[in-house]
């Protein structure tokens, strides 16, 4: 089975792997499936905190063939942390029967490396979709059972653009992050049946406005050339106390949906983690009023969005080590973003 | 009487005075008492958006002897805007009797200019307190009737430090902003009876931890050498539909108090504006979890705090042109900040 | 005649017009032709120091129909200042004959306002070229006599992009600055005969690599919708002690050309001002070695370039109030930039 | 003997150790004495590129007991690179006699870890001086033979300040970098006889204005708790072709001294590396004209200084992978900085 547990631990700095010591003693070296972290860099092109975290964590993921997904940027109140996704056996009663009749399951994997000129295109979307479909099949769930597909995808650096055999989708390194997230999100939507094969080009051309998934969470970085993928789903075949619900913020101040989703956590259940995507709306307004996130040449728009949405999410969640990631192209409606809430009954 | 109305209008840029055209036709040139705005600069030492706004607005305040208070920094979702405080006659019934038996009143004024070496010291606190007491007396209310004392205070530039006759409280221009806000807040607390004359030094030395006011809202800038002061209070002698409640956020994610204060707005009443102070907690944590606002050398801590608290406040208020100002030294408990909610019945 | 004098004065802040007081007493209100300044903003989209300077200086330019050109960004050692270009009568001997048989002349003017969708296109180039040709004709010199055409050109904000009737050249506000400078530079090259009418599209498509002018100096800003133009030339018809030489830096560390150009200043002559354009090379290297100016998501590339080239130019010039402006698309070879040296014999 | 060679190699990113492959085949694992690099972070408190570089390089320094010194910040044209200092046997003629009658030698070492409250104080200065004196003795040269003492020193983070048993020299994490560099520089000056034991306090109190060394090059970082030290000196006992000269820039635009020092490199000799310290002058002016490096709340002053001085040094040196490090407290006169030129005859 692919049953899992999720352990969230704050970190002292991006090179800190002391979270490993907090795992239950029974955890075996090949149980660590994924490390999903927030690091304190700028979350943009030259954010090497992600590379530092990958460098120190990846050796611990070798045994399991697991992956790391580090999302840079803990602006505002956000607290750097890691969520360790570990394999966990089904919870059984003394008589050997299942303790729960459902549970959370996960599968991780990676696509092939992408050429610079493939990044941000339909090629990236299709290759990513194929890998996700395979992972969904392997974990034996349906697309509708999936709560979140979390992906770390590559970006373009000046060196890659210059070296590329064909023309790239953009020469602007910061913008390449958005195109890569978009293509990945469209790939997720394709794998989950939310966009059809015919709709890919339109989804890409409309920058995700006509074709998006509320279960996509994509983050781009210079520290990899392929896509790292985590599929999180509910399964009736598993038996564990982890549960999830998902939805999306309609805009960057959508307190209502956050309160609704968190209200679904039963009394007495333990909050595990909330995963949220955030972005500056490209029309320059939030509920009709001008924002300055895209005309600020000192602070990138994704940093602004993470800080603001992070403040709102932390206020609702009651703690600051929440996963809020910037750049929600195709991951929820324009200006909003996907939300996934994980709890433990 | 000193009865007022408050008109909030978004701005297209810091040089935009078109809000003037939105005032009721009956407004006379000397009715404009104060312009309280958020501008889209960095809110720090070299934020010249405040100077630009002062330059274009101050001519419109000359007739009334009014003042401008521009707080820089609309990080995240925050929307640049101005709140125009205008004198308004008592609302009367047809028979000439008062339509309401209370109302919001305001008085504005300024202290003398401060020498560089006085900024951030007990001298600034005392001089500011004296002016506030005078304004409170003039507006014929008690200290307990005051909801907010909003102040724009000066800061130190390198040029001022170098030219100063005596040693300044700091040579760091960014830090001088905090010291100036602190001394001002202690002055407000003194005027409102929340700190005694004997407690001034302790309040300053403890950086506002032992001596603060939940009704203080201070913002510093390079565009002035004295303190610009707005006193906002409830008065039984006035007759207008404006009302206010105040309180404070205990930390930067205090959603609870924001929901409590806004729940005091009666059904059917119109939300006018919410004024909130925000700051990075100096102990480096929010509810026990590390934040990175004070170790980020790319983005100043007050920018982080404005963005995060701005996101939370905008979520609660339902619109983004809220007044969230950074640097809450002595203006609420450490890491939190003062809150004032204005509405219209 | 259009003979001029140039007076360079440092400023205390972007709202400082005290330089006016340093002009010779004989200067009349309509003598001030142009104010060419460096202000201490970020030099990018949300640099409102330029708007502040325009706001305070433009009233002083009304009498002459003069123009202001404020270039934001005094990174590194650069010192904020203004160069006041004033009309000056021919220098005559006691017998009424000319004291010099040549001199520096200038003419200023503006194009019509541009629509958002015209910015950065061949339309902007052609309209700008037409105005420049007219100014050259009016000042009675040949294209070869021109040392520098200095232009302040507009940019795209999110609001303009959203409101545009047709598709704009980019939706990225920071990138729009480069496209606007490029189109302007191509217009200058066209007016000076360095690019042919047929070559405009190629010059634009190659981002100025195939079609540029070493006498172009363009700076973009949100504070205007048209192009403000200053043409600076030598004229045998004038009689004044001002002289100029021009050339271009081949890359961002071209010390050699700076030493060569300054060595042309005769012994005993007075240095007046040096005007230099700077940019990050788009191939990501300087003399074969990687730079990080275009992968830095915290500091924009033009800021990096101004700081570095500003340090070099100030070292050569021996003072820090030099005019170094960022973004040299079409204003010199890729990665380099135009240079104009003005001195007084 | 302690004879050395220096190999300078550009890096593709802060995690890049491919420079190792460029070393001569004869190099043994314990020959690598020091890695002195420039990384592309912000060079300030939260610059984790230094930690990433340390993490990947330190395993290669274990065999030799060598050290790494990474200085963050490649603003402007500066190119990220490493200078590998490797032990090299004396160059001998075929008859076994020395080929040269002098050469460059180096010794590396570290102090004990410092407590938070010791950082920036006379304790740090004295402990550092003691270690340097020991290294000078071990390498068998006199203080006058030393060309440069290059040190990586610690800084204060919010966590360290909060945890400190005694009061720290500052609570401002960015400022702690300057205090640590200052104390280290004073320690170097003490070890080299440029400051007496009695002069330490005055040197510290005057922020290095009364007590400094033109041979000190200090850089602070969060990635270590002690001082990493490299002593570079000329020795008559060594036989190798490496030579060095040193001096100091009197201010940030001191082109003259750079031309003088580089003119000492004989014709035909190979330029190896130039090491320069840079800083914003604390009086706010360069040659009497205002700079904005210390009133810019978006970009830290050391970043400005590195960019500007880096542009000048790269112009003189003719390549961009020069070592320019920010924050020159006590490392040259106020506003200037130490310079060390290494070449190979």
pLDDT-derived band at B158, boundaries 50, 70, 90 = confident
CB pairs under 8 A between C and D: 151
Q: Which of D219, D234, D235, D239 is labelled catalytic? A: D219
D328 appears as a binding residue in the annotation: yes
Does pLDDT of C136 surpass 70?
yes
- Classify C107 as helix, strand or coil: strand
- Look at residues D173, D151, D174, D178 and name the one whose alpha carbon lies nearest to residue D160: D173
Task: Determine how β-strand A285-286 pairs with β-strand C270-278.
Answer: unpaired
Residue set of the binding site of B for substrate:
50, 71-72, 181, 219-220, 306, 325-326
pLDDT, tens digit, 9 for 90 and up, residues B289-299: 999 999 999 99
- Look at residues D228, D208, D222 and name the one whose alpha carbon lies nearest to residue D151: D228
What pLDDT is stored for residue D174 in this prediction?
87
What pLDDT is stored for residue B1 in this prediction?
59
Chain D residue with CA closest to A298: the answer is D298
Does pLDDT of B92 surpass 90?
yes
Q: How far is CA C82 from CA A129, A141, C40, C50, C69, in A?
A: 58, 69, 12, 12, 9
Rg (CA), chain A: 19
Per DSSP, B61 falls in state: G
Residues of chain C contacting B55 with CB distance shorter than 8 Å = 15, 52, 55-56
D330 appears as a binding residue in the annotation: no
Question: How many of the other CB atoms lie within 10 Å of CB of D64?
Answer: 17
- Between chains, do D290 and C77 touch, taking CB under 8 Å as contact? no
Distance from CA of D163 to the nearest CA of A (A): 14
Residue set of the binding site of C for substrate:
50, 71-72, 181, 219-220, 306, 325-326
**Distance between CA atoms of D229 and D107, rounded to whole angstroms?**
8
Q: To the nearest 10°, report the CA torsion of A55, C289, A162, A208.
A: 50
Q: Which of B8, B38, B87, B152 is labelled catalytic? A: B152
Distance from CA of D79 to the nearest CA of C (A): 5
**Distance between CA atoms of A125 and A119, rounded to whole angstroms?**
9
Q: At what angle do helices D301-317 and D255-263 cross, to 10 degrees?
A: 40
What pLDDT is stored for residue C38 in this prediction?
98
Q: How far is CA D159 from CA A168, C197, C319, in A?
A: 43, 63, 43
User: What residues have CB less than 8 Å from B328, skipping those under 6 apart?
Assistant: B181, B277, B278, B279, B305, B336, B337, B338
Q: Which domains, ranges and CATH numbers included, belong to chain A?
A: 3-231 (3.30.1330.180), 241-344 (3.30.1330.160)
Q: What percent of chain B has pLDDT over 70?
A: 100
How many Å from the N-terminal Cα to the C-terminal Cα in chain D?
Answer: 20
pLDDT-derived band at B223, boundaries 50, 70, 90 = confident
Does pLDDT of A322 surpass 90?
yes
The complex scores an ipTM of 0.96
Residue with tokens 């300057």: D178
Mean of per-residue pLDDT scores for chain A: 96
Q: What percent of chain A has pLDDT over 90?
A: 96
**Distance between CA atoms of A261 and A245, rounded to whole angstroms?**
7
Q: What share of chain B is helix, strand, coil (3-state, %, to 5)?
A: 30, 30, 40
Strand partners, D341: D245, D274
Strands (E), D255-310: 270-278, 285-286, 289-290
pTM score above 0.80: yes
A37 appears as a binding residue in the annotation: no
Question: How many of the other CB atoms lie within 10 Å of CB of A137?
Answer: 11
Residue C335 φ/ψ region, left for φ over 0, alpha for ψ in the -120 to 50 degree band, beta for the rest:
left
Residues of chain B contacting A263 with CB distance shorter than 8 Å = none
Q: Tokens for A214?
A: 């509320």
pLDDT, tens digit, 9 for 90 and up, residues C5-22: 999 999 999 999 999 999
- Look at residues A217, A219, A218, A199 and name the one whose alpha carbon lies nearest to residue A209: A199
Cα A88–Cα A90–Cα A91 angle in degrees, nearest 5:
105
Does pLDDT of A131 surpass 90?
yes
What pLDDT is stored for residue B138 in this prediction?
96
Residues of chain A contacting D298 with CB distance shorter than 8 Å = 298
- Between chains, do C314 and D293 touch, taking CB under 8 Å as contact? no
Cα A94–Cα A96–Cα A100 angle in degrees, nearest 5:
90
Helix (H) or strand (E) holding D278, with range, is strand D270-278
Q: Count Cα neighbours of A73 within 13 Å in the Cβ-side half-sphere.
A: 32
User: What residues have CB less than 8 Å from C296, skipping those under 6 apart?
Assistant: A45, A46, C304, D40
Per DSSP, D306 falls in state: H
Does pLDDT of A52 surpass 70?
yes
Per DSSP, D3 falls in state: B
Does pLDDT of A1 surpass 80?
no
**Distance between CA atoms of B43 and B220, rounded to whole angstroms?**
9
Task: Determine how β-strand A103-110 pairs with β-strand A228-235.
Answer: antiparallel
Mean of per-residue pLDDT scores for chain C: 96
Contact (Cβ atoms closer than 8 angstroms) between residue D241 and residue D227:
no
What pLDDT is stored for residue A222 in this prediction?
85
- Between chains, do D56 and A51 touch, taking CB under 8 Å as contact? no
Q: Tokens for B106?
A: 């305001």
Mean pLDDT of all residues in C66-84: 97
Mean of per-residue pLDDT scores for chain D: 96
Per DSSP, A113 falls in state: P
Mean pLDDT of all residues in D108-121: 97
How many Å from the N-terminal Cα to the C-terminal Cα in chain C?
Answer: 20
> Per CB distance under 8 Å, which residues of C are interface residues toward D?
10, 12, 40, 42, 74-81, 252-255, 258, 286-287, 289-293, 295-296, 298-299, 303-305, 307-312, 314-316, 318-321
pLDDT-derived band at C1, boundaries 50, 70, 90 = low
- Classify B240 as helix, strand or coil: coil
What pLDDT is stored for residue D93 in this prediction?
97
Q: What percent of chain C has pLDDT over 70?
A: 100
- Look at residues C278, C317, C270 and name the one whose alpha carbon lies nearest to residue C301: C278
- Look at residues B241, B90, B216 and name the one whose alpha carbon lies nearest to residue B147: B216
Helix (H) or strand (E) holding B107, with range, is strand B103-110
Q: Which of A219, A234, A281, A338 is labelled catalytic? A: A219
What pLDDT is stored for residue C335 in this prediction?
97
pLDDT-derived band at B155, boundaries 50, 70, 90 = very high
Mean pLDDT of all residues in C213-219: 97
Contact (Cβ atoms closer than 8 angstroms) between residue D148 and residue D248:
no
Contact (Cβ atoms closer than 8 angstroms) between residue D298 and residue D251:
no
**Distance between CA atoms of C238 and C1, rounded to whole angstroms?**
7
Tell me if residue D277 is catalytic. no
Q: Tokens for D96?
A: 């076994």
- Look at residues C106, C218, C56, C73 and name the one whose alpha carbon lies nearest to residue C152: C218
- Between chains, do C308 and D310 touch, taking CB under 8 Å as contact? yes
- Look at residues A73, A8, A13, A12 and name the one whose alpha carbon lies nearest to residue A35: A8
Does pLDDT of D158 surpass 90?
no
pLDDT-derived band at B151, boundaries 50, 70, 90 = very high
pLDDT-derived band at D1, boundaries 50, 70, 90 = low
D333 appears as a binding residue in the annotation: yes
Does pLDDT of C177 surpass 70?
yes
How many Å from the N-terminal Cα to the C-terminal Cα in chain A?
Answer: 20
Does pLDDT of C158 surpass 90?
no
Does pLDDT of A237 surpass 90?
yes
**Distance between CA atoms of C74 and D291, rounded to whole angstroms?**
8
Q: Which of D175, D283, D296 sits opposite B172 (nearest CB)?
A: D175
- Between chains, do A320 and B255 touch, taking CB under 8 Å as contact? no
pLDDT, tens digit, 9 for 90 and up, residues A262-288: 999 999 999 999 999 999 999 999 999
Per DSSP, A114 falls in state: P
What pLDDT is stored for residue A5 in this prediction?
97
Strand partners, D3: D105
Q: What percent of chain D has pLDDT over 90?
A: 96
- Between chains, do C75 and D308 touch, taking CB under 8 Å as contact? yes
Helix (H) or strand (E) holding C103, with range, is strand C103-110
Backbone angles phi, psi at C286, to 5 degrees: -120, 120
Strand partners, B87: B4
Residues of chain A contacting D13 with CB distance shorter than 8 Å = 48, 51, 222
Residue of D168, D298, D335 to mutate, interface with B, max B Cβ within 10 Å: D298
Subunit partners of chain B (3 or more CB pairs within 8 A)? A, C, D
Backbone angles phi, psi at B339, to 5 degrees: -135, 130
- Classify D162 as helix, strand or coil: helix
- Classify C178 as helix, strand or coil: helix
Does pLDDT of C95 surpass 80?
yes
Does pLDDT of A172 surpass 90?
no
What pLDDT is stored for residue C222 in this prediction?
85
Q: What percent of chain B has pLDDT over 90?
A: 95
The DSSP line for C260-276 is: HHHHTSPTTPEEEEEEE
Mean pLDDT of all residues in B300-314: 98
Helix residue ranges per DSSP H, chain B? 49-57, 122-138, 158-163, 173-191, 200-205, 255-263, 301-317
- Between chains, do A159 and C297 touch, taking CB under 8 Å as contact? no
**Distance between CA atoms of D195 and D186, rounded to whole angstroms?**
7
Subunit partners of chain C (3 or more CB pairs within 8 A)? A, B, D
Residues of chain A contacting B302 with CB distance shorter than 8 Å = none
Neighbour-count burial of A26, counting CB atoms closer than 10 A to its CB (0-12 exposed, 13-18 middle, 19+ buried) = exposed
Neighbour-count burial of D174, counting CB atoms closer than 10 A to its CB (0-12 exposed, 13-18 middle, 19+ buried) = buried
Tell me if residue A219 is catalytic. yes
Does pLDDT of A343 surpass 80?
yes
Mean pLDDT of all residues in C192-196: 96
Residue of A49, A308, A313, A326 to mutate, interface with B, max B Cβ within 10 Å: A308
Contact (Cβ atoms closer than 8 angstroms) between residue A161 and residue A168:
yes
Mean pLDDT of all residues in D237-252: 98
Task: Determine how β-strand A146-153 pairs with β-strand A285-286.
Answer: unpaired
Mean pLDDT of all residues in C98-120: 97
What pLDDT is stored for residue C223 in this prediction?
81
For C242-267, b/e burial (b = at least 16 CB within 10 A) is: bbbbbbbbbbbbbbebbeebbeebee
pLDDT, tens digit, 9 for 90 and up, residues B106-138: 999 999 999 999 999 999 999 999 999 999 999
């Amino acid at each position: 089975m692919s049953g899992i547990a999720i352990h969230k631990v704050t970190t002292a700095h991006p090179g800190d792997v002391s979270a490993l010591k907090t795992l239950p003693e029974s955890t075996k070296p090949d149980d660590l499936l994924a490390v999903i972290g927030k690091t304190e860099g700028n979350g943009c092109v030259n954010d090497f905190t992600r590379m530092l975290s990958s460098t120190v964590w990846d050796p611990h993921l070798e045994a399991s063939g697991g992956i790391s997904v580090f999302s840079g940027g803990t602006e505002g109140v956000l607290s750097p942390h890691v969520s360790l996704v570990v394999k966990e056996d089904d919870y059984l009663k003394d008589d050997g029967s299942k303790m729960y009749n459902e549970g959370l399951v996960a599968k991780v994997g990676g696509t092939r490396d992408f050429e610079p000129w493939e990044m941000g295109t339909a090629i990236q979307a299709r290759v990513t979709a194929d890998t996700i479909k395979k992972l969904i099949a392997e974990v034996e769930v349906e697309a509708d059972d999936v709560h979140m597909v979390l992906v770390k995808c590559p970006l373009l650096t000046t060196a890659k653009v210059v070296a590329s055999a064909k023309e790239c989708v953009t020469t602007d390194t910061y913008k390449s992050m958005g195109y890569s997230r978009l293509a990945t999100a469209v790939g997720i939507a394709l794998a989950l049946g939310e966009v059809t094969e015919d709709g890919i080009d339109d989804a890409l051309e409309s920058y995700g406005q006509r074709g998006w998934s509320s279960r996509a969470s994509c983050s781009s970085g210079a520290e990899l050339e392929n896509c790292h993928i985590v599929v999180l789903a509910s399964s009736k075949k598993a038996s564990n106390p982890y549960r999830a619900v998902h939805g999306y913020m309609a805009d960057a101040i959508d307190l209502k949906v956050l309160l609704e989703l968190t209200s679904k956590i039963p009394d007495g259940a333990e909050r595990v983690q909330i995963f949220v995507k955030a972005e500056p709306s490209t029309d320059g307004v939030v509920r009709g009023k001008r924002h300055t996130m895209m005309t600020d040449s000192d602070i990138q728009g994704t940093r602004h969005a993470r800080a603001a949405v992070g403040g709102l999410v932390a206020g609702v969640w009651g703690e600051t080590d929440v996963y809020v990631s910037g750049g929600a192209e195709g991951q929820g409606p324009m200006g909003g973003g996907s939300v996934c809430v994980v709890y433990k009954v």
